[in-house]
Amino acid sequence: MSLVKTINLNSMFNYDSQSFKLFTKEIVDKIKELVGDKEYVIMEFCGTHTHEISRYALRSILPKNLELRSGPGCPVCVTAEEDIDYIINLVLENDLGVITFGDIVNVPGSVASLSYLRAMGKDVKVVYNPMESIKIAENNLNKNYVLVGIGFETTVPMLAHTLINIKQKGLKNLFYLSLHKLTPPATIALLNSNEVKLDGIIGPGHVSTIIGTKAWEDIAYKYKIPFVIMGFEPQDMLFGIYVLLEKIINKEYGVWNTYLRSVRYEGNKTALDLIFKVFRISSANWRGLGIIPDSGLELNDEFKEYDVKLRFPLTKEIKVRKTACRCGDVLRGAIKPYECPLFAKACKPSSPKGPCMVSSEGSCAAYYLYEMN
């Protein structure tokens, strides 16, 4: 029997989209009534939820004894220092050009960021659509490039489509570095650690549009914890938090989907088929969490010729230097951003010391921009 249930916001609260203030008061009152004088800790596993919770100042209207912790839901943030160091060494040893998305350029490794390579005159290109990498490679056939693929399950289909096109065109100067991460194994790793005692989990909305609510069933059953998949508008999040609290208090566990307009039980089969046409599951290194088995994606045998690690093996060992940044602790929910000694002092959006302040989905950036007062 499926543990996944669906709940329609409109049917429970007679919500009229023109009456947001009335809805907000009604739902917040119901949340306060549920919470009472007890303390609860819930965690959101999506960087967009983290950002929107801060942007809409939801913590300021929710009970103080209901604690919302941010988890490892930012794909840029969870990119390990070792991986940034690897890219820098790869370029310095082989004079490769780098093609990637914007945020990753300023993510610090243990020594420098990709912007350091750009300052040295290396070819570091930022694209909004990975298909642009094909045109770049075609226009520079005498130079080798590495396309750096980051992102959770949501962005992988687009990059898989790009790799299929690279293969169809027979390009010989464009290679791939897969830094992709899969979210359910990271959720399991956090729950296994028990570092933060969680009463419930706000499931990632974007990721769940791809993998479906069924991907969370076994976790909810094994750890006897309620998951609620929710959207990103303030009314979505308030409603989802209400449902989650209700399940926590009633000691129910399972997966509840309140994001019906985007998330289905099976997920997006077309996108999943595309992912596994190009990739296979592997281990991955997460900032703050370390190596997690079965939490990454590597190119399968059909696309191995584009694996930059096989084509350009490094000759020097990478030695990661320890830094004072506590982004890894923030990603585990072990501390809040303002508990890092660098926060809002040495580390600001204008001079970030860690990826949690670099990325638009990073917890430190969200707290700095919206929750400083």
Is the Cβ–Cβ distance between 145 and 174 less than 8 Å? Answer: yes
Q: Hey, is 120 helix, strand or coil?
A: coil
Average pLDDT over residues 327-342: 95
Say if CB 142 and CB 352 are below 8 A apart: no
| Global pTM value | 0.91
Q: State percent of the chain over pLDDT 90.
A: 85
* CA-closest candidate to residue 54, choices 339, 351, 371, 295: 371
Per-residue pLDDT tens for 274-293?
Answer: 999 999 999 999 999 999 99
Nearest Cα neighbor of 65 from 45, 98, 42 is 42
Scanning the structure block, which residue is given the tokens 């998951």? Answer: 227
Cα–Cα dist 135/23, whole Å: 49
Given strand 40-44, what is the order of strands in its sheet?
Answer: 4-6, 254-257, 226-229, 200-203, 40-44, 66-70
Structure tokens at 146: 């590495």
**How many angstroms separate the CA atoms of 154 and 204, rounded?**
10
Confidence grade of residue 19 (pLDDT, cut at 50, 70, 90): low
The helix or strand, by DSSP H or E, that contains position 97, with its residue range, turns out to be strand 97-100
Q: Going from the N-terminus, what domains does the chain have, and what CATH number goes with each?
A: 1-52+63-325 (3.40.50.11740), 327-370 (no CATH)
* Distance in Å from the first CA to the final CA of the chain: 47
- Nearest to 104, CA basis, from 36, 177, 38: 177
Angle at the Cα of 244 from the Cα atoms of 241 and 250, rounded to 5 degrees: 140
Whether 269 and 215 have beta carbons less than 8 Å apart is answered as: no
Q: How far is CA 324 from the centre of its chain?
A: 22
pLDDT in tens, 239-273: 999 999 999 999 999 999 999 999 999 999 999 99
- Cα dist. 169→137, 140, 166, 177, 328 in Å? 11, 15, 5, 19, 40
Q: Which two tokens stand for residue 284?
A: 């991955």
- The mean pLDDT value for 287-301 works out to 97
Q: How does pLDDT run across 100-118, given as a tens digit for each residue?
A: 998 899 998 888 889 999 9
At 160, is the secondary structure helix, strand, or coil? Answer: helix
**CB of 146 within 8 A of CB of 97?**
yes
Tell me the per-residue pLDDT of 183-218, one tens digit each, with 9 for 90 and over.
Answer: 999 999 999 999 999 999 999 999 999 999 999 999
Give 37-85 pLDDT, tens digit per residue.
999 999 999 999 999 999 999 999 999 999 999 999 999 999 999 999 9
Q: Which of 222, 226, 203, 214 is nearest to 45 (CA)?
A: 203
**179 contacts: CB under 8 Å, gap ≥ 6:** 79, 83, 148, 149, 150, 284, 296
The DSSP-derived string for 185-228 is HHHHHHHHHTSS--SEEEE-HHHHHHH-GGGGHHHHHHHT-EEE
Task: Report CA torsion sign: 214, 216, 219, 220.
Answer: negative
Report in angstroms the alpha-carbon separations of 4 from 23, 256, 260, 311. Answer: 26, 6, 12, 44
What was the pLDDT predicted at 12? 47
CB 49 within 8 A of CB 202: yes
